[in-house]
Structure 1
Amino acid sequence: MKEIFIERRDKLLRIAVKSNKELIESIVEENKDEPIIGEIYKGRIKNILPAINSIFVDLGLDKEGYMYYSDELKVKGVKKGDEILVEVIKEPLNDKGAKLSSKVSIPGKHVVLNCYEEGIEFSKRIEDKEKKNNILNNLEPLIGAGITVRTEGANVEIDVLKKEIAKLYEEFQDIDRKMKHSLGLKKLYGEDLTLKKLLMNSFGGEITKIYVNNEIDYEKIFNFINGQENLEVEKYEGYRNIFDFYGIEKELLKLRHNKVNLPCGGYIIIDRTEAMYVIDVNSGKNIKERSFNKTILETNLEAAKEIGKQIRLRNLSGIIVIDFIDMRDKSQKDIVMDVLKESLKPDKGNIKIFPFTQLDLVQIARKRQGKSIYEYMEEECSLCKGRGIILKLSYIEGLIRNEIIRMQEENSINCFHIEVDSVYKDKIKENIFDFIKEIDALDKEIYLNYVDNIEGYKIEPLIFQAQKDNLKDYKVTAIEKV
């Protein structure tokens, strides 16, 4: 059984997926009014630079996007000032704007609709000519849009394809109408893409239960499911964060550790650099096998399986390099590669795996979807000038809030002593009101002090007056809360 937990608050969307009670995927998306992969915009060509084959496009946002000045666009004779429909294929990074494409498509589970193209095409993986002919004989081409049948589309009934195509075509017509008649530059398609993609991939197969924490998402998902078998949605009514209530927060915090132990006694180390993620495989205490080659193979096989799991769990994206233990036997490399591919199979369409290099390295390219757990949870330490990594204050605030709510629910306690690592002292003192508000303690009695070298924070309920008297110098006053 699969369980999907969806927690939305303010501008933050968090999604966790469990299969048979085991956490297998986590996605975090922050709404920062920046374009994300898959969104479609009505833009205007701001500049064309033939020397570097680039076009810069105004999207009506702070940063311009850019795209390749292709031969097709040259033939069309696009020029500065033209309005153009574009799709985001890479999110903005630092000072660089979003990478765009004039090849715009609307993905479904079984087919993809290609805007302003024509005809019916098939995924390269569909080789069965009989299936292709059956689909071609039973589907009508669309006006203004082409159809690409995905690999899964070859294995479903024609009526399923027709129903999905009709739904996607309605979305295309809406985009086309807005492109031609709406004023100004704006996003035309792409609200809640991450959620929509997740739901789309949840159709069929194993029984899936979806938990949400607000009425809007509940209604949206309920209508999206629309009687689909094996899918159920439930609204969580508790006051605590849904991730905290179901124990997911603790599991995510464990993922901050870069070392992951393997059953055989070996382990993997996951490190970040500015350019990529690097995963190192080590045999560690794996000395069970008498044959050195068998020890290496066993460790690499377990590592390959675990790496696929960790990539999805930590939501790693971009370039990922894996340094397996050296294998001289090519057949062993093939076995390890097969296991790695199998472990990443659920990551549909998001990932590309390259063969072993001469140095026994494997390179993976994974599309970005939301933030990695590191981006969401951590930040550079200001005290050591960026040489260390700490939990973000915003994340600490959420954890403290969860504990306060839990203690209040269990014991009706309204007074707390909170110790916070000194690295956060300046940030909190800049605006202590916001800190107290974020931990949901404006109506509570809080004693707050700062301590060196603790893991983020500590919190304890205050029950007796003597405890409060001993901590009176740390009490947050009413004036500070205003």
Structure 2
Amino acid sequence: MQQDILINWSPQETRVAVVEHGAVQELHIERTLERGLVGNVYLGKVSRVLPGMQSAFIDIGLERAAFLHVADVWHRQDNGEPPAFARKNGEPPVPIEKQVFEGQSLMVQVIKDPIGTKGARLSTQISVAGRLLVFLPQDDHVGVSQKIPGAERDALRARLQALVGDKASGGGGGFILRTNAEESTDAELAEDIAYLRKTWARIKEASLRLPATSLLHQDLDLLQRVLRDLVGEGTQAIRIDSLEQFQRLRAFGQEFMPAAAAKLQHYKGERPIFDLYSIDEEVAKALGRRVDLKSGGYLIVDQTEALTTIDVNTGGYVGARNFDDTIFKTNLEAAQAIARQLRLRNLGGIIIVDFIDMVREDHQHAVLSEFRKQLARDRVKTMAGGFSQLGLVEMTRKRTRESLAHMLCEPCEACQGSGQVKTARSVCYDILREILREARQFNPREFRVVAAPQVVELFLDEESQHLAGLSDFIGKPISLQAEGGMVQDQYDIVLL
């Protein structure tokens, strides 16, 4: 799949769009003041151990304590057995209270950014990513990416094992060959091995020198990760609109990733780079609930704390010969659109897709097959089940950072994130009840209602009779004051 990568850089924010056939497929944003933590290595301090949850809270110097689960605790066995977090023959791992204790200093790595009210998730197994390899310094395993065909994997593993060597020869450590290293030479691999071992030596040295809660190692910034993680064989060009960052990125790429650096271009056009493919418009659409399909159908995307639901509707599409074909074609188009929206919005966790009900099993199989095919293009790990008894497709997508909506938006002050506010009439009736309640407790000269203009307008028009009736009943005048800064369901009752 041919793609272009566009980079819009400013001192406060870096935005990267991956475009295929003129359509935005992925959007990555990194803000200088809100840079992600995944990959960072810290010298943490155990602040609390929770045996009941088999987890611990670790202070790594952030606002919220980070979270370490027993499944993420690396513990090498002296008898050559697998690490404690790897269950063997159904046996439970070693309890966390026997592995860590309060006040202990512990080297940890962030594997999930803080999301919402949850702190960062940690692991004690450290991995350092390079251009071609991932280094696992606490391990001795040498592996090859699952995406590389099986026939080539054994040969690549043997090559890598020879380059890594063993502890006796001053080598050792675990390495995983990344997908983009399939065609690399021994010299390139040896260079990456040396770079990763040098990085690990710096991390170890810092852990002995710095106090607890210190940052020992920071992962590459978004610009550098573009070359390391996003560039592939199908990438035609990487265009960046900042000359200074272009030069910095080219220097970094020529040293570590010459093939990727060769695709770098400095964009000099007068139009903003994101205007080339209307990317800002796509971002605005990705923040909305409704996604229109070309056929006339549409999706409704609702994101909550627990899960994300996606509902497919035929809308105005009536183009097929019969109703079954209309539903089938809408669902096929939706399968492609949903996979793209997951990438674009960076939705993670549990996702429930409600395709339009299909009677024919061959239609169900075809839609599910197309959906899984589109999900396979995702860089992030996904798992999708079949149709449930209720006709729903349940899936998961690994969540490592905030979704696009959570990064760019915040809950509405008026509705507190519910997406709804009370009608003006409901607010009027709330005010009438509140005045009656206040009149029973206090004896002011007058009640003054301060409310949004649309509420005051309703009191002066359709609800004037009810307001006058209440005034007669309590024997006090009620005056109205419109306040333009108030939202519809806000009001104040002033006792004069």
CA contact (8 A) 1:2 1:206 kept: yes
Could you tell me the TM-score, scaled by structure 1's length?
0.70
> SS where residue 226 of structure 2 aligns?
helix
For 1:109-258, what aligned pairs fall within 5 Å after superposition? 110-123=132-145, 128=150, 131-133=153-155, 135-137=157-159, 138-141=162-165, 143=171, 145-150=173-178, 153=181, 157-200=185-228, 201-213=230-242, 215-216=244-245, 218-226=247-255, 227-228=258-259, 231-235=262-266, 242-243=273-274, 247-258=278-289
Q: Give the structure 2 partner of residue 22 of structure 1.
A: 23
Per-residue Cα deviation, 1:183-204 (whole angstroms, up to 9, x for no partner): 4422223344544333223043
Q: Which amino acid aligns with 1:182?
A: L
For 1:321-400, what aligned pairs fall within 5 Å after superposition? 321-368=352-399, 370-384=401-415, 386-388=417-419
Deviation for aligned residue 1:235: 4.1
Deviation for aligned residue 1:322: 1.0
Deviation for aligned residue 1:35: 5.6
> Would the alpha carbon gap of residues 310 and 134 (structure 1) be closer, same or farther in structure 2, given more than 3 Å must change?
closer
**Of 85, 105, 124, the match for 1:102:** 124
> Would the alpha carbon gap of residues 286 and 31 (structure 1) be closer, same or farther in structure 2, given more than 3 Å must change?
same
User: Gaps (5+ residues) in structure 1?
Assistant: 391-421, 423-449, 454-482
> SS where residue 346 of structure 1 aligns?
coil
Q: Give the structure 2 partner of residue 63 of structure 1.
A: 64
> SS where residue 380 of structure 1 aligns?
coil
Q: Which amino acid aligns with 2:122?
A: L
Per-residue Cα deviation, 1:374-410 (whole angstroms, up to 9, x for no partner): 23443333245554499xxxxxxxxxxxxxxxxxxxx
Per-residue Cα deviation, 1:174-230 (whole angstroms, up to 9, x for no partner): 322322333442222334454433322304333122214362464134422553268
Distance 2:10 2:95 in 1: 45
Q: Give the structure 2 partner of residue 84 of structure 1.
A: 106
Distance 1:74 1:34 in 2: 34
Could you tell me the TM-score, scaled by structure 2's length?
0.68
Deviation for aligned residue 1:301: 1.1
Distance 1:104 1:18 in 2: 33
Per-residue Cα deviation, 1:120-166 (whole angstroms, up to 9, x for no partner): 13445667366414532543346462112345655655555444433
Distance 2:356 2:277 in 1: 37
Calculate the aligned-residue CA RMSD, in Å. 3.6
Per-residue Cα deviation, 1:324-366 (whole angstroms, up to 9, x for no partner): 1223444433322232233233322443333332222223322
**Of 294, 311, 315, the match for 1:284:** 315
Distance 1:2 1:265 in 2: 27
CA contact (8 A) 1:289 1:295 kept: yes
Distance 1:44 1:35 in 2: 21
Q: Which amino acid aligns with 1:208?
A: A
Distance 1:181 1:74 in 2: 30
Compare 28-37 and 57-66 and name the one that shifted more: 28-37
Distance 1:362 1:132 in 2: 36
CA contact (8 A) 2:143 2:157 kept: no
> Would the alpha carbon gap of residues 284 and 64 (structure 1) be closer, same or farther in structure 2, given more than 3 Å must change?
same
Q: Give the structure 2 partner of residue 53 of structure 1.
A: 54
Distance 1:44 1:92 in 2: 18
CA contact (8 A) 1:265 1:285 kept: yes
> SS where residue 52 of structure 2 aligns?
helix
> SS where residue 259 of structure 2 aligns?
coil
Deviation for aligned residue 1:295: 2.7
Distance 1:168 1:203 in 2: 22
CA contact (8 A) 1:212 1:218 kept: no
Q: Which amino acid aligns with 2:231?
A: S
> SS where residue 139 of structure 1 aligns?
helix
Q: Which amino acid aligns with 2:287?
A: R
Compare 62-71 and 31-40 and name the one that shifted more: 31-40
Compare 6-15 and 81-90 and name the one that shifted more: 6-15
Distance 1:354 1:190 in 2: 36
> SS where residue 343 of structure 2 aligns?
helix
Distance 1:230 1:65 in 2: 36
CA contact (8 A) 1:86 1:100 kept: yes
Q: Which amino acid aligns with 1:187?
A: L
Identical-residue share of aligned pairs (%): 30
Distance 2:185 2:136 in 1: 21
**Of 320, 327, 343, the match for 1:296:** 327
CA contact (8 A) 1:27 1:372 kept: no
For 1:375-454, what aligned pairs fall within 5 Å after superposition? 375-384=406-415, 386-388=417-419
Choose 1 or 2 for highest CA Rg.
2
CA contact (8 A) 1:35 1:88 kept: no
> Would the alpha carbon gap of residues 93 and 2 (structure 1) be closer, same or farther in structure 2, given more than 3 Å must change?
closer
1:313 aligns with 2:339: no
> SS where residue 139 of structure 2 aligns?
coil
Distance 1:43 1:234 in 2: 41
Distance 2:53 2:408 in 1: 38
Compare 30-39 and 88-97 and name the one that shifted more: 30-39
Compare 216-225 and 91-100 and name the one that shifted more: 216-225
Q: Which amino acid aligns with 2:216?
A: L
> SS where residue 359 of structure 1 aligns?
coil
Q: Which amino acid aligns with 1:210?
A: R
Distance 1:294 1:32 in 2: 50
User: Gaps (5+ residues) in structure 2?
Assistant: 72-83, 86-93, 422-452, 454-483, 488-496
> Would the alpha carbon gap of residues 167 and 339 (structure 1) be closer, same or farther in structure 2, given more than 3 Å must change?
farther
